[in-house]
Every structure is written in C-alpha cells, then in structure tokens.
A and B are shown apart, each in its own frame.
Chain A
C-alpha cells in the first residue's frame, strides 16, 4: 500500500494520500499566508532583458565543494548539486532528481523513480548507478553520523533502470526531509573524483555550473542543459566579505547586487533599518522561521526550576524584541515559529517581574543587597557568549547585556563570559555554562534537525533540555508511524518543556534579504539552502 506519494505532475497541487499530513500542511500554509509580511521585490518585470551577471556577497569562506564533506560555506552547493526530494514552501516535499517515491507500509523501504534525461555538467548521465554511487559515498560513514539518515539507511539497492530503493533500519518519518539537505545527500558526477575516489571538481546536475572557485570568490554560469526552469541571468559571482557593515556598504555603493539570509550574508536588524531608508535598496523580509531563545544548563544551578521560571517572568520579550531587533522580529512563545511543521499553539508567557521575585522568594532565594542567596550560595548565572562580532541577527553581546540587566532587576546576577569562538562551541558542548543563547535551525531542518541535536542524545552536552521523558516523546514523534501520533508526541513534548520552564523563547526572527536596484523578480527563498534564482532578472 502506498502510504505517501507526491508526483511530478501539478506540483502546485498536492495529491496527498495521508490526510492528516495534508491537513497539517494546510494549516501551516494558512498561517503563512496570514503571517506573510513581504516577498518579491516589487513587480516581476516579465519583459526584462535576460542575461547579465548577478553579484552576491557572502559572509563565509568556501572550502572544497565536495557535497559529501563539510568544508567551509555551502551556499553554492545547492545551486550546483540537487537532491532526490526538494523542500518547498512550508516544508512541502517536492520532486527533485526523483519524480516520485513510495514509502512502504512498514516504513522500512522507500522506492524512488529517478528522473530521466538528466545529465551532470560533464555530460555524464544521471542514472541509478550514479545515484547509488553517491549514496554509498556517505551512507553509514562515521563523519555523517549526525544525520539520522546515514545511520538508518541499511542498504541502497537498484531494483531496475532508473529506480532506487533504500532499505531502512527502522521506520523514520523525517528521513525524506533529511534527504532534501544538500550535504551530504546532494548528487555529484561519479567522474568528479580521481582514481582514489578523492573529490576533484564540483560537478552536479543543478541549474548552475561552477566555473571557478577560490576560498574567497566563486563564479557560476548558467547550465543551459538544465532539466527544470532555467535561470534567466548568465552568471552569478560570489565574493566573500566577512564584515557585515562592509557588505551593507558594498550593496549601497552598488558593488554587489544582493545579500541576506541567516547565514549566507546576514543583515543585522539595525542594518536592515538603514538599508530600508536607502532608496537604492529593496529590503525583503522572509517568514520568521528561526526562534532565538535562552537555554539553561540543567546540570548546574539552573537545574532549580524556580530560577528558570523566574527568568521567564523577568524578561520583557516584547520590549526586548523591539530594541534588539529594531521591531522586525516577533516576540516568541514557543520552541518553533508558527511556519515550522508541528510548531504547536502559542503559549502565554507574561512579563511579570514581581511574580519572578515571589517565585525566587518562595524557593528560598533571599534578596541580599543586589543579589540573592540561598544556603550561603549566591544566585549567579554564567551566560556564555562568543566574543566575536555579531553574526547577523544574533548580537550576543548586546542581547547578553540586556538579559543581564533585566535579570538583575529581580536579583539574579548574570555573569557574562565572552570567549572566543572555538572555546565557545567547546564550552557549549561540554556544558560549561548556566545560560546560553540558542537558535533553532529553521527550514528545512526543523523540527526534526533541532530536536535531535538539542533534546536527545548524550547528556554531557546539555543541549536545550535532555530528560528521559522528553527524549521518549521526541523518539515517539521521529519514529511515528502516522502524522497524528507524531503531532501528539511533539505537542506532549512541548507541554513538558513549558511545564518545566525548560527554556525562554525570545523572538522569531525572519530571514532578511536586500537587493540592489538592478535586481528584479527575486523572492525570499524557502530555505537558507535553496538559493532559487530562476525568477530573477537584471536591469542595469
């Protein structure tokens, strides 16, 4: 029996065999339509001349572009490499290099029908052997173990021409979603490696072929043999500019045409305001899909629920959001933004510093001077932040000072510890903190990507909230056999997190893009990893 099937035809129409899933998706869509702020930079000019070179700023350096490895920035990769399944608006799965797929009733096999007539940039045909070669390059390998798919796929089989079958260890609902990631599930020409199997050149099937790449610059040209909607512009040139203000200046001065996204070339809220005032530039806000929050380390002093609750009440998230994000983000109440599948209903999280004080008093944390003490122990929370400059929306320095000041009002002393990046990630990993800012991943990873990393697994790394109770619920959702079970498990997990005051949601932030005057027809991409330029034209 076919449990789920999506087909190539009528991709705008959803043929669903799983009503619950469809309903959920519809609900998400409705929320999106209602909450959608802006997309599309003015009118799409259909008579615009094609061709031209689009110049894009990029914040991070490139490594080699082996899709089955993780070196440097990977925003170019999705333009070059494609996946079997693609992530559409609101998490809808769309056909990519597979035209259709079937998940067996027991969830243990998935059969893909591969797209015919597709060629890699080196004219090697994309077929079942090439597909299997790609999967064999990463499935089951240790360095990809972070991705559940790499552990759950037991075997890759070729049942016939242009057919591919994955045998799974156990049923795993987010598997197809994981296969929309470019690294490592992207497909590369089998001839892109040398005799020893080492990567040599980035050759994919995507709409762009990589012309040249160094650590700090890359140029791509249109793949005229692309099977799907061909881009209208001829070339895209990326240049690495690490400094956010410099990127903004470059856009304002017309040196680049485009920047934005959460990671590609992030724009800070203040910069978005500045750019918004510049008539040469159009600022586009995508859906707020990433949640900024404050996480606790359960293994430390924050294991005390009273403290966590007090922190929740002590933060005025409306004002904080307004000040920290220049009014462009929304105050958050849940783990996932409303656009993310299974995000759940909004919670009530009032700002009530008196309540915070009462809770602390009741828990025995007596006010003494500016701080609080219990059994001779000071109420001091160490807030770990990276000392490097702000990255896009998360200006940790600024946020930390705002949080410290607000918590100080109720007698919680916050000790801001700024450490360099390497130490910061090490400390997070090793649980050397009481408080830390965390962010969800946004589309396409969420919710499964985030919850696997932050709500389950090794307890030494505190993640967001790792308890047996929540881990059981998350596993129940991840390995659910139907959407209703999955939804219920997720909602129950959210309820536990809420009950335990497990974290403090602060804001849902949008992905912001800004384009120069020449760019027409650009729309904020669905995900950070899906840089779709097929609608873009240039008018210089």
Chain B
C-alpha cells in the first residue's frame, strides 16, 4: 500500500544528482578545470567573474572555478579514503561480532556504543592536534568515529546468517565457514554499505569544512571548499563571487546526502495522514438503509488498484469480500473510511444513511469511524498499542464514542469485554496486550470496534494467524454479534469456505474488481467465474498464511493490467482471444448472482472445473 516504486526511484535519482555531480567534478577536475588550481597570477588578483575566469579569481589570482573543481577532487579523495577505512574496519568488527557471537560480539557492540557516543569532531580535533596535520591524519581522525554504522550493518547481516537454517544447510553440505562468509554474506552487504557510504559523504564534506575552520583541514595550497569559504570571508561585502560558489557547493552535496539518507529511512513507510484536530461533526439519527459503495476506485501514483467496485450491506446482513492478497478487497472497504495511505486517490460514492462518505471530505469520514462504522484490522496484536492496558484502550474508545456519560466508561468497557466473551474481564482490564493470547487480542479488538455501537462492522481477516479452534470461535462470535446487535457486517477474507459459513452474500474480488457476487450459497455451490472456482478448489491448509498461492491456480503474475482485457486471462484455463482484448462486464447468472466472464463455463459446460 505504498506509493509506486518508480516515483521513489525517480526522487532518489534526483536526490543523488548533486552527489553524482560532485563525484564527476572530482574525478574529472584535471580534464575539465580550465586552469592549474594552484598557479598564481598575481597580476590578476581578485578579478571579477568574466569569460576568462567564469567564477573570478582569488587574492593570488587563482581561477576560482578550477579551485572549486579541484576542491571537489580533494574532498572526494579524502571521503573515499575515509570510507575505505571505515567500511573495512566496520565490516571486520561487525562481521567478527555477528559471526562469532559470544564475547567477541559483546566487545564489538560495546565498541560501537562507546564510539557512537563520542562527539566525532571533537575526537578529530584531538587526533589532529596530537598527530599533526596532513591527509593521512585527517583520514585517521574521521574514520575513527566513522566505522560504527558499517559495523552495525555487517553485524546485523552476519547474525541473521548465523541463525538461519540456510547456514546450517550449507554447513551440512560441507561448505567451510569462511567460504560461506565470503560467498554469501559479503556480497549481500555491498548494497546497504554503498547506500550508507553515500550518506557519509555529506558528513565528511561538512566535517572537512569545520576542520578547515580550525586550521586543521587539507594543507595548502590544495584547494578545499571550507578553506575557500574562510579565505573569502574578508571579501564578503566586496567580492561575493568568492564566497558563494563554495558555500553552495557544500550545501548541495551535504543536502543531497541528507535527502538520500532520509529517503532510505522512510522508504517503506506509508504516509498516514491524521486529520487536523477539530470538533467532530455530530451525525446521529437516520440509521435506516443499507451501506452502499458505488464505482469505488483507488489509485496510487496514477495506477488504479481498485477499479469500479460496487457492493452494499443492509443492517443485520453480512457480506464477505473474498480474494487473494493484493486483490483490492481490503482497500475497497477501508478507502471509503479514509484509512489508507494518504497518497491514494479515491473516487466513487460510499453512502451510509443519507451521507456520502467520499463526498464530504475527511471530516465526515472521521465522524463516521468508530461510531457508525467499526473496524477490526488484520493482526490484532499489532493493532493494540503495546504500552497501554486493555482497560485504558477501551476506556478511550468508549469515551471517544460518546455513548455513555463521563465517568461510566469503565463499566461500559467491562460490558464490552463480556460481550466479546473475554474470560474474567475485571482482571484483564489491567493487562498489557503482550500478555494476551491471539484469540484474546482479537476479542479485545472486536470489543474496541463495538464501543461506538456501530451500524456497520468491518472485519479484515479477523482470524488470520489464529489456530483453527479459535478461528471458529471468532467467527461464531461475529455471527452472534451481528444478530444480537443487528448491525451490518463486512467480512474480508481469503478463505471463501469460511466466509460462506457466516456471510449472507459473497463478493469475489480480483485485481481491483468484483468478478462475481451473489448469495453465499449460490456462489459457493454454483460458482460461475473461473477464478471463484479456483478459490473453491483450493484447499488452504489451516496453517497457510493469507496469500499462499492456490494449488490449482497458476501463480499470479506481477499485475500489469491491460486497459481492456480480462485481468484473469493470463491465469485462466478457459481464456479465449476475446478475453485478452475486451473486459467482461458483470452479467446476471441467476437473479441476484452476477459474474464477469466471457466464457461463462457454468452455462457453456457442465460443472466441473479441470484445473491446470
């Protein structure tokens, strides 16, 4: 559910451009610099920028552009040397610790911790003060505090390698430990090390400038950007051309480095948008009527992942939306509530009572969430804040729902816990989530969702990661609740058989569309769409995680959806020519049961699907 990889890659490239420019300038300085950067021309002292000297000259008549280019070279060489030392030292220490474990690992960790707490520039200052100047000492001074991140990377890799079954297997096969080390672990380190190194470049350039300020930088006459800034200082109000270019060069390289760092730090994070704090719109009354979702579409970075989905749930009814992971079933239920990545574009209608959740902006969605629509998300344990007790969470939910007078929250919380069948609710209110079993967590989640006495309850894979007995119990609980409270239930599941036991209706979702929908009994007993048949034929083992490939279906290809074609065509045993050029619309099979397929195997042939 993150933005497209292409967008991120593009941004990464843009971020990296100044770094690339820096490397190029440094590498090509001897070729492209118009002048010798250290040759004086005292007659041309402090010349303004001109065609002859594009960036002017300094006090000794040296060409600033050439000095800027060679300055990049100096920083680049130094950065390369510092990185070479830091990476080597870091990888050796980290790998040794991670690979050997035990006391070497503890020593390595301790060294990393200690080094990381030292102020690196003060250390550099001390080293240069004591060991004297010169490039070798600069490298030493900067590497001394530069290695821990690399050690950390290496250690992480080697620890996981040592603990992996793969490693044991290789050892059993007779591979020597060191061969494994070199052939398997080190190559895998190259990419993250490279990434971190590009981040370090910025720090090194900035450190070098600071050391120049203290007179400890690269010795003259070699140009260095920080030193150029210092030399230009007396001319700040008379010859700005001396001071600006090196300053901008440093800023560009360091900024690029930092941007890159952040890009990687936040790479796989969805952008979650919280509403601005505001008074909530009150939306009481007018509960009657079904919840209707029409022509719902969700797109990320221009790519449609949900494309024209319709479904409806009446009060007291249950709809199951089934499909493989990535079919869009979760998106199509959470999007109307504004619970998906903020970069998504959502269109269509989602009408609850008289209100269109997609027509009124975030305020409406917020007002509905937790009060008129309750949601139970996947992974109950993760959905409970680990640092808060069950009671605190429930009390909050009850308070925000505003269904009981202030001060009575705890009583209501206990009531809810009883309602979801949690044993000994009085003692469980003070428990932290990590002390509860998976089934108990799920019950708590359901209790939380019920706090607002919602008209609709959306349960997203409520039983995944639970054992079979607990699965059945949770399903039974949901079915009970639907009846006793009279709310609509939307169940999202990959398990069509289980869904059929609870739901009145089933909608089958594939590649962002609903391909078959109808009364649960009909869909299960007389499936029309080849995909539905595939789902039914698959016998997911109880332990299979959601998204496990179905035995009878060929594996899903990376969805590169053609604009007009049946999305299922690449995997469909019945596909005809037409399927590849035209998209099938939903057509009635029996009253209330529709399916989107050109071939209509039900109609054309007797039931009996011959799989691949």
Contacts and interface: CB of A to CB of B under 8 A. Distances in A.
**Chain A directly contacts chain B within the complex, with at least one CB pair under 8 Å:** yes
A319 B42 CA distance: 7
A417 B61 CA distance: 22
A245 B38 CA distance: 26
B220 A416 contact: yes
B570 to A, nearest CB: 69
A3 interface: no
B279 to A, nearest CB: 51
Contacts of A316: 42
Interface residues of A, number: 29
A420 interface: yes
A397 B218 CA distance: 12
Interface string B13-44: 00000000000000000000000001110110
A54 B231 CA distance: 32
Nearest to A383: B220
A386 B219 CA distance: 11
Interface in B127-185: 128-129, 132-133
A405 B235 contact: no
A297 to B, nearest CB: 18
A405 B38 contact: yes
Given A270-B234, A320-B42, A397-B220, A420 B132 contact: yes
Contact of A245 (B132, B234, B238): B234
A400 interface: yes
Contacts of A389: 215, 230
A326 to B, nearest CB: 9
A387 B133 contact: yes
A398 B215 contact: no
The CB with the most chain A CB atoms within 10 A, among B59, B60, B220, B233, is that of: B220
B40 A406 contact: yes
Contacts of B60: 323, 398, 401-402, 405
Contact of A274 (B43, B230, B237): B237
A145 B235 CA distance: 44
Contacts of B221: 400-401, 404-405, 416
A220 B89 CA distance: 58
B305 interface: no
A292 to B, nearest CB: 16
Interface of A: 245, 268, 270-271, 274, 316, 319-320, 322-324, 386-389, 397-398, 400-402, 404-406, 416-420, 423
A316 B60 CA distance: 13
Contacts of B132: 419-420, 423
B45 interface: yes
Contacts, number: 70
A471 to B, nearest CB: 33
Nearest to B233: A245
B42 A401 contact: no
B40 A401 contact: yes
A324 B59 CA distance: 8
Contacts of B233: 245
Contacts of A419: 132-133
Given A402-B40, A405-B39, A423-B132, A323 B45 contact: yes
A271 to B, nearest CB: 6
B216 interface: yes
5 contacts: A271-B234, A401-B40, A404-B221, A418-B215, A420-B133
A406 B221 CA distance: 13
Given A245-B234, A274-B238, A419-B133, A400 B42 contact: no
B42 A416 contact: no
Contacts of B129: 420
B219 A418 contact: yes
A387 B234 contact: no
A419 B60 CA distance: 22
Query: Interface majority SS on B: helix, strand, loop or mixed?
Result: loop
Given A274-B234, A319-B43, A323-B45, 20 more contacts: A245-B234, A270-B235, A274-B237, A320-B42, A322-B42, A324-B59, A387-B216, A398-B59, A400-B220, A401-B38, A404-B221, A405-B221, A406-B40, A416-B220, A418-B133, A418-B220, A419-B133, A420-B128, A420-B215, A423-B132
Contact of B215 (A270, A324, A388): A388
Interface string B557-595: 000000000000000000000000000000000000000
Closest 10 CB pairs of A and B: A405-B40, A387-B215, A270-B234, A401-B221, A388-B215, A418-B219, A323-B42, A319-B42, A323-B45, A416-B220
Given A323-B59, A406-B40, A423-B132, A268 B234 contact: yes
Nearest to B129: A420
A322 B39 CA distance: 18
A319 B59 CA distance: 12
Contacts of A322: 42
Interface in B379-437: none
Contact of B42 (A271, A397, A402): A402
Contacts of B215: 386-389, 418, 420
A270 B239 CA distance: 12
Contacts of B61: 323
A315 B61 CA distance: 16
A250 to B, nearest CB: 15
Contacts of B128: 420
B289 to A, nearest CB: 74
B604 to A, nearest CB: 89
A324 B61 CA distance: 11
A307 B67 CA distance: 30
A416 B219 contact: yes
Contacts of B220: 397, 400-401, 416, 418
A322 B38 CA distance: 19
Nearest to B133: A418
A423 B230 CA distance: 23
Contacts of A271: 234
Nearest to B239: A270
A540 B574 CA distance: 100
Contacts of A388: 215
Contacts of A417: 133, 219
A394 to B, nearest CB: 14
Interface string B211-240: 000011001110000000011011101100
Nearest to B236: A245
A270 B234 CA distance: 7
B169 to A, nearest CB: 57
A324 to B, nearest CB: 8
A401 B230 CA distance: 15
Nearest to A386: B215
Contacts of A398: 59-60, 231
Nearest to A416: B220
A268 B231 CA distance: 12
Contacts of B43: 319
A279 to B, nearest CB: 14
- Which residue, B60, B128, B215, has most C-beta atoms of chain A within 10 A? B215
Contacts of B59: 270, 323-324, 398
Contacts of A270: 59, 234-235
A187 to B, nearest CB: 39
A469 B302 CA distance: 91
A420 B215 CA distance: 8
